[in-house]
Structure 1
Amino acid sequence: MVAVAGEIVSTIEEIKVDHRMKGLEIYVYRDRSQAILERLKNLKNAGLLGGALVIFVLFFFLRNVRSALIITAAIPISVLCTFGLMFLLRKVAGSQVTLNIISLTGLMLAIGMLVDPAVVVLENIFRHKQEKNLDLREAAISGSKEVSIAVIAATATTICVFVPLVFLSKSRMGIFMHDFGISICSALVSSLFVALTLIPLFASRFLKLSDPSAAVRGNNNTIGKPKSSLIKYLTVYYIKLIELTLRFRWITLVVTILIVVLAYYLFGKLEKEVVRQGIYREVHLQVDAPRSYGIDDTKMLFERIEYILRERKDELEIETVSDNFDRSGGYLEIYFIRQEEAKKPVSVLENEIKSLFPVIPGVKYRKMFRRGNDGREINIEIKGRNINTLTRLADDIKGRLAAVPDLSDVETNLEKGKDEIVVSVDRDKAKRYGLTSERIAFGIAGSLGSRAVSKFKIEDKEIDISLQLKEEDRQRLDQLENLESENIEKEGVVLGRVVDFERRRGPAAIERKDRKPIVIITAQYNKRGLKSIRDGIVAKMADFNLPAGYEWNLGEEFRRFEREEAETRFGLMLAIILIYLIMASLFESYIHPLTILLTIPFAFTGVAIVFYVLDMPLDSVSRLGLLLLCGLVVNNAIVLIDYVNRLRRGGMDRHSAIVKGGRDRLRPILITSFTTILGLLPMVLPLFLPLLYGPLEGRGRIWAPVGLVVISGLITSTILTLVIMPTIYSLMDDVGRWMKKVFAFV
């Protein structure tokens, strides 16, 4: 797309300088290739900022420049491997993945995850070096081998959450997220490859310990330099906290249950929504003129509106304005300056523009919804046999919807059409005057229409001959009433004697469903989510009795919302099942994977609290973040419990293994969590710092909540995994022992 758009723009520039096109003005209203280039720029900036934050975190925890630089090197190498893998998927596997908006967003999300496997591998290499006094080569081999299965399993659990998208490939969400999943999975596979190959190599060649003998004597598992005082005190207090939770296991269990219940309760309170944020900085407004207006009046109205907008062009950040109108009204297309130069969001500018429009009796201004813009519109369908009955029912339902909180501009498709004249023939009078309905209809159509009555032949083509009244003779309704129609006796009969003319606004279109006419009632909503709007509408319509043969249904927006909710539930359930199967094969146990799965409600608790406090709805893209979160949050628990199991297999008792496992895995868990969180900060910060980053709009506004979902869930799951997971592990281990005794007895 970028190459094609570039060629088109260059061709337009050539046309502009062509002397034959002098006086021709060409404007490019929308160039989607700019969004891709902007995303590439954002990816570079996010990578640089995220990389800088990752280096800071690594140095803070590892206290060694070489260690931090080696792990930081995993970021650019993994990104290059990701691009190479995506290229191979296109050339070898026939994949259609490209570097588009969706795939680049996936790479932005993956920036902070690229170092996670490398951190676990490098930390374990140094622990082997310092505790067992091995040389760097042997430590690199044994250390990477020990955690390789856990790292592979952790990566596999993250990758497997995108498998449900294969089953949803024909749905809107599946098609939309195909490239997103491929880019993240490619990045994770690349980071795993780098962690298990290059990181051990770099560690064996370039790392140095400040005083290995001292580290062995003190049984210190630091990397290179001693721990900072903060990490030292944090480790000491963390061990005391583990001892405390293990001593009061049942109290810890009650706290865990309360946390899960809280997560369930808050999720029920969250607003649910579909993605409605606008992509482009533009507004489309419909202007309805009164019936008394002629074409000149409408033209003067639009010229007045354009003058107001031109006078405040800089203040309103307007780049250009386009309009189209006829006698009954028209629409305005207002395009704003680019987001990098903007100071106000489109929603604020839209309200300011509406406040400037002249207040004229009979003139209405309303927003038009188009694909790619911020459209928050719902509709209800009424279906039945008779259109007149549907019209009466629609008026009643309009009143009910107007009483639903947050709904505004309630109208039907019967009101959105243009003015029309309904001709009703009095058959008895027409018969007395020697006229038929067919003759009257053809007479009116011939006078007002532009249908060709004959053709004029010339050498190479035919030209239509149209016959109709002069424009000045067909402007008013009284002129139509005074038209004469010839009867069977060749006498002229004034139409007003046999025909009634009624002027009214017709429907925008004649719509049918299941061979029955339908009336569509639309309304706009602003703050509340679709879930609350749906519940409010259902409550208002609960006591509404329809005649036999008539029914009402929620419109397409609600059906789409319900489909996406069902797809999300299916994706989450399938992802959890796949994660359980992977962990069951890793631990060779049915109990310990259930322990690890508790980290998912831990993460959802953080998401629910943050979105509830910020009063943000969970839209379909944010729910994709929940899917990604399921695969991420189990990684810390996998690394912790796998190490505890290794210690127990080495002969250590359960309590000591849990305490030592928590102590040794505290730092790598904190590092991987912080690197992922800080890697996502460039995506989320514009939500909270609009003064620094400017108004958050477009695709950045769509994807920022995904980063917020991952960050909020990862923070709570990391804390609760470190604090509560050791106790839950011991309790579930007791349950496993009890079940073995029961089944052995049976």
Structure 2
Amino acid sequence: MKIVNTSVKRPVGVIMIVLAIIALGVVSLRSLTIDLFPKIDLPVAVVATSYQDAAPEEVENLVSRPIESAVSTVEGIETVQSQSQAGSSLVVMMFSNGTDLDQALLDVRESIDQVSGALPGQSGDPRIMRFNPDQLPVMWVGLTGKDTASLTEVADEQVVPLLERQDGVGSVTVEGSKEREIQLILDQESLQQYGVTAQTIAQTLGSTNQNASVGTVEQGNKDLQLRMTGQFESIEDIEKTIIQTETGTTVHVEDLAKVEDSFKEESSTTLVNGKPSVVLSILKKTDSNTVDVATTVEDSLQEIKENLPADVGLDVIIDTSEFIQMSIDSVVQNIIIGGLISIFILLLFLKSVRATLVIGLSIPIAIIATFTLMYFTGETLNILTLGGLALGLGMMVDSSIVILEHIYSYRKRGYSLVESATKGASELAPAVIASTTTTLVVFLPIIYVEGIASDLFTPLALAVSFSLIASLIVAVTLVPMLSSKLLSKAMEDNGRRYWFDRFLGWINDKYRSVLKWVLGHRKTSIIASILAIIASLGLIPFIGAEFIPSADQGQVEVRVETELGSTLEHTESIVDQVSEKLTDFESDIETNYVSIGGGNGIGGGGGNTATYTMQLTPSGEREETTADIVQDMDKALQDIAGAEITVSSMDSGMGSGDPIQIQLNGPEHEVLTELSDQVVSKISDIEGVYNPESGADEGIPQMNIVVDKEKAAMYGLTQDQVSGQIQLQFTGQVATQYREAGQEMDVTMIYPEGERSSINDLRDTKIQTPSGAVIPLEEVADLESMQGPAALTRENQQPQLNITSDISGRDLGSVVSDVEAALEEMNLPDGYNYSIGGQAQDMAESFSDLALALVFSIFLVYAVMAIQFENFLFPLIIMFAMPTTVVGVLLGLFVAGIPLSIPAFIGIIMLAGIVVNNSIVLVDYINILRRNGKDRYEAILEAGPSRLRPILMTTLTTILAMVPLALALGEGAETQQPLAVTIIFGLGVSSIFTLLLIPVVYTLFDDLTLKITKRRKKKKGLIE
């Protein structure tokens, strides 16, 4: 090939190009974004709407349903889900893969605009957002001290502004802070005495507290701007505000209410390692590097600490970049170990440091070139792309080995160094290119794979492909050039490592003997191979299946739920008991952060919830895995009465939602609630089901106030006026805003706490009529005590209820099979049905897509070989190596105790392109020998042992380079382990079958060809 001749004759040019690639690769590596996993592109949008003080039923009927109907017509939508809870509505739209989400969001916005006028006046403006799984906090930072109010001030004035100025920081959210407000504590007796209503006070404060431009006036040759100032400048200004009474007299605000500079009533509390605190969650910008952002924030925290008061502590609670960095480091370490193993294998076979150096250089150059290509394709540096490099490490030297072996064969014949390099590389370059192509084409069907499998598979496929392409270029350019300069005395038999040559000779002899036997017992060999494949299929029930292996990230979540309607104080007392129990696990817990009453999601949670977020020590520093610790914690906390406590792992599994999610659909929420209880009871007895939960809550205790509109009208009252006065007494009302030192706070009218805390206070509520008279609430309304739902869920405009469950001790596939069997036994009423979602659904869809990709990959491999051999028969013979990989794959997963997962399935697809390479080498050489006049039997007996050495070299470098990954050494290696195990066992076992089965299949097909040829000749002779 011309490219080989050029590289040999112009070594300086090749060296300069290599140096340029290295320089560009180093620059690209510094610019690559580092993350734990590739970016997951989920075509999901969210519409969030608030509807203050509305019950879930009202939110569903007045807000969620109109929005659902409006967005359901948007093109590309597959599923519309809504969750209606007290005070808020959340509508989630899931689009089909490939949908242009930017255009879809514009269509959603147009649809919302058409119905926004029909939404209740008290509802907030709908917020339309793109769901981005990357928008999770990079770091949580805790401010601890004695006074939460002062901590809030420190956070708002010192910490947050500085952090938000750091490169890569998107936003900083403060949790557990105290929000300052000016409270006007109304005196009901004074209001009645002066005949003043709360609305009068609010209107007066609002109209007084403002500045206004009222025109201009001339003064000489200048225009003076006339400006009326009235904005409150002090608390005293609020107190002295004049209120006009109905009788025409005037009073001050301080005569009607007590004005206090205070804080909004606390709805949540945060504790860090048991101390009251304010917690800051830091989000990065979308295109920022997680590790760089975390490092920058860490450095800025040191600067902030120097200026903090002595009694204020500032510490990192959870830093997600630590696990990312440890995972990346462990993969890099595995790459280095694998590279050293490959070089050792080469040195063992080649018996020459110079020859090993020539081939070994292809590894770092290929890796560096891959970094460059990853940068320009927008890929991130994560454990899967780096894992792809580690997996391709052993394959990077395959092309170089074949080229070097052939160059050396010419050298032994007496050719000069330059001639040997030119002829040897030129002759085998087409075969090497074809061989590499069979490995690369298996990645082409990725275009047929969608969803999470595609998001994970594509970056890994690109990393492996880039590395193989780079190593191929090195093999046909750099290797011949270096061979022409460095191999003058290389690979000469000087007696060193003679023991290894004797060992290879012994293996050759044994292989020749076995090969003779299988050629003499062809039927037995074929039947034995078929039986081995069938026997391996019997291992499938013992292997199981899962979506993606979870990495032991060491994060644990404990959720505490007391009875609905519980006060914040009661939940805090339960939390104290939980914290006491958790002291038994102190040695394994690095940080412990609990949010009480804060809740999660839009609308928040009530005072009956508390959530612990714990960071455990690194997995290498503790004896138990995160899953084991979760089990131990769960057992220890179940003794606490008065709350439902759930312990779960937050480790990265890349799944969408819970492992098992059962979706019940039907026309009535009440029936769904009853069915969900039956489902939870049914699946709780299944082995492996852990913490099954129903989305149906017991119900929030509530008091319905039913206004008698006829009676209210007699007093000149409307329902809105009655509800407004009740809301003022029990919730308060913002009258205006007060600005001080650049801060803006609410001025809130509220009644004393003693007048708004009990049912009797509600019954004693005084309603003021337009005429100024005061009547009791019971005069115009009835009070009804009942249980109301906490949240109502719908999917595709039909009521839905979800039952979720974690799994423990068993694989996801087998647990799902048992769950489906249990659900089949249930007789659901007409109109009600169920479906399985969560990770189980993702697993089924991904396996289906990958199976299709595997079929296409096999076809493409056959097509490439047919083009290479210009024959349809020989590729078919070579393809017989593929079924035998089943034996190795299933045996490997069974021995390692690893379920079949997406990474393992990707390994199977990669094997389709790898295992045929050895067969290509063997069959090609058999054909060469037969063309040179050798008998078929002799050709096989000569080709097998002579090709054994390069086959062993390429196979061992590929397999042994992946051993560190297969052993799951280091943090985050669990994700790549199934992929490595699959390739190691699949390639190892198939190589044995290749060396023995392929020659047998070759003879059978050759005999069949001869029979067909003879029949045609005989038929032709009869015709003639």
Confirm or deny that 1:492 pairs with 2:765. Answer: no
CA distance in 2, matches of 1:735, 1:397: 60
* Equivalent residue letter for 1:498: D
- Aligned partner (choices 164, 183, 194) of residue 463 of structure 2: 183
Q: Name 1:555's counterpart in structure 2.
A: 837
Deviations 1:465-492 (A, max 9, x none): 6555543444445654665668999642
Q: Name 1:150's counterpart in structure 2.
A: 431
- Which runs of 5 or more residues in structure 1 are unaligned? 216-221, 687-692
Confirm or deny that 1:303 pairs with 2:591. Answer: no
CA distance in 2, matches of 1:464, 1:209: 87
Q: Is residue 659–residue 840 contact of structure 2 (8 Å, CA) maintained in 1?
A: no
Larger radius of gyration: 2
Any idea what SS the aligned residue of 1:234 has?
A: helix
Any idea what SS the aligned residue of 1:27 has?
A: strand
Confirm or deny that 1:80 pairs with 2:361. Answer: no
Change (3 A) 1:547 1:289: closer
CA distance in 2, matches of 1:496, 1:520: 40
Q: Name 1:10's counterpart in structure 2.
A: 299
CA distance in 2, matches of 1:41, 1:463: 48
* Equivalent residue letter for 2:594: D
Any idea what SS the aligned residue of 2:967 has?
A: helix
Q: Name 2:446's counterpart in structure 1.
A: 165
- Aligned partner (choices 652, 659, 666) of residue 372 of structure 1: 652
CA distance in 1, matches of 2:596, 2:779: 32
Q: Name 1:274's counterpart in structure 2.
A: 547
Q: Name 2:930's counterpart in structure 1.
A: 648
Q: CA deviation at 1:667?
A: 0.8
Aligned residue runs from structure 1 range 399-548, under 5 A: 399-415=681-697, 419-421=700-702, 423=704, 425=706, 444-452=726-734, 454-455=735-736, 466-477=748-759, 479-480=761-762, 491-494=775-778, 498-503=782-787, 506-507=789-790, 509-548=791-830
Deviations 1:147-196 (A, max 9, x none): 3233212211111122122343x522222333222221111112112222
Q: Name 2:982's counterpart in structure 1.
A: 709
Q: CA deviation at 1:665?
A: 0.7
Q: Name 2:893's counterpart in structure 1.
A: 611
Which moves more between the two structures, 577-586 or 538-547? Answer: 538-547
Q: Is residue 487–residue 493 contact of structure 1 (8 Å, CA) maintained in 2?
A: no
Q: CA deviation at 1:365?
A: 1.4
Change (3 A) 1:498 1:37: closer
Change (3 A) 1:546 1:495: farther
Change (3 A) 1:685 1:392: closer
Aligned residue runs from structure 1 range 203-282, under 5 A: 203-207=483-487, 228-267=501-540, 270-275=543-548, 277-278=550-551, 280-282=553-555
CA distance in 1, matches of 2:720, 2:374: 67
Q: Is residue 208–residue 224 contact of structure 1 (8 Å, CA) maintained in 2?
A: no
* Equivalent residue letter for 1:161: V
Q: Is residue 665–residue 799 contact of structure 2 (8 Å, CA) maintained in 1?
A: yes
Any idea what SS the aligned residue of 2:315 has?
A: coil
Deviations 1:283-328 (A, max 9, x none): 1110122468543332233234335545753x22x22111111331
Q: CA deviation at 1:458?
A: 8.8
Q: CA deviation at 1:254?
A: 1.2
* Equivalent residue letter for 2:316: V
Q: Is residue 630–residue 647 contact of structure 2 (8 Å, CA) maintained in 1?
A: no
Change (3 A) 1:462 1:569: closer
CA distance in 1, matches of 2:541, 2:879: 21
* Equivalent residue letter for 1:723: L
Q: Name 1:219's counterpart in structure 2.
A: none
Q: Name 2:90's counterpart in structure 1.
A: none
TM-score, length-scaled by structure 1: 0.86
Q: Is residue 918–residue 991 contact of structure 2 (8 Å, CA) maintained in 1?
A: yes
Give the total of aligned pairs: 715
- Aligned partner (choices 126, 130, 140) of residue 421 of structure 2: 140
Any idea what SS the aligned residue of 1:600 has?
A: coil
Confirm or deny that 1:284 pairs with 2:557. Answer: yes
Deviations 1:316-348 (A, max 9, x none): 2x2211111133131101112334544432222
Deviations 1:130-159 (A, max 9, x none): 4x4544444433333343233212211111
Q: Is residue 62–residue 227 contact of structure 1 (8 Å, CA) maintained in 2?
A: no
* Equivalent residue letter for 1:500: E
Q: Name 1:732's counterpart in structure 2.
A: 1005
Q: Is residue 862–residue 879 contact of structure 2 (8 Å, CA) maintained in 1?
A: yes
Change (3 A) 1:388 1:3: closer
CA distance in 2, matches of 1:328, 1:39: 37
Q: Is residue 887–residue 989 contact of structure 2 (8 Å, CA) maintained in 1?
A: yes
CA distance in 2, matches of 1:490, 1:211: 108
- Aligned partner (choices 353, 357, 360) of residue 633 of structure 2: 353
Any idea what SS the aligned residue of 1:242 has?
A: helix
CA distance in 2, matches of 1:526, 1:462: 51
Q: Is residue 140–residue 204 contact of structure 1 (8 Å, CA) maintained in 2?
A: yes
Q: Is residue 429–residue 498 contact of structure 1 (8 Å, CA) maintained in 2?
A: no
Any idea what SS the aligned residue of 1:361 has?
A: coil
Q: Is residue 62–residue 223 contact of structure 1 (8 Å, CA) maintained in 2?
A: no
Q: Is residue 737–residue 745 contact of structure 2 (8 Å, CA) maintained in 1?
A: yes
**Which one scores higher on RCO, CA 8 angstroms, separation ≥ 6?**
1
* Equivalent residue letter for 1:185: S
Any idea what SS the aligned residue of 1:541 has?
A: helix
Deviations 1:420-479 (A, max 9, x none): 415275989999999998777556544433454x54799999976655554344444565
Any idea what SS the aligned residue of 1:163 has?
A: helix
Q: CA deviation at 1:418?
A: 7.5
Q: Is residue 273–residue 619 contact of structure 1 (8 Å, CA) maintained in 2?
A: yes
Confirm or deny that 1:322 pairs with 2:611. Answer: no
Change (3 A) 1:743 1:345: farther
Instruction: Give the aligned CA root-mean-square deviation in angstroms.
Output: 3.7
- Which runs of 5 or more residues in structure 2 are unaligned? 1-288, 598-606
Structure with greater helix share of residues: 1
Change (3 A) 1:475 1:624: farther
CA distance in 1, matches of 2:903, 2:838: 19
CA distance in 2, matches of 1:399, 1:429: 48
Any idea what SS the aligned residue of 1:12 has?
A: helix
- Aligned partner (choices 385, 392, 398) of residue 103 of structure 1: 385
Q: CA deviation at 1:598?
A: 2.1
Q: Is residue 140–residue 201 contact of structure 1 (8 Å, CA) maintained in 2?
A: yes
Q: Is residue 274–residue 619 contact of structure 1 (8 Å, CA) maintained in 2?
A: yes
* Equivalent residue letter for 2:612: L
Change (3 A) 1:399 1:440: farther
CA distance in 2, matches of 1:263, 1:148: 38
Q: Name 1:42's counterpart in structure 2.
A: 330
CA distance in 1, matches of 2:926, 2:897: 40
Q: CA deviation at 1:711?
A: 0.8
Any idea what SS the aligned residue of 1:280 has?
A: coil
Change (3 A) 1:230 1:481: farther
Change (3 A) 1:345 1:625: same
Q: Is residue 677–residue 711 contact of structure 1 (8 Å, CA) maintained in 2?
A: yes
Q: Name 1:57's counterpart in structure 2.
A: 345
Q: CA deviation at 1:387?
A: 1.2
Q: CA deviation at 1:66?
A: 3.6
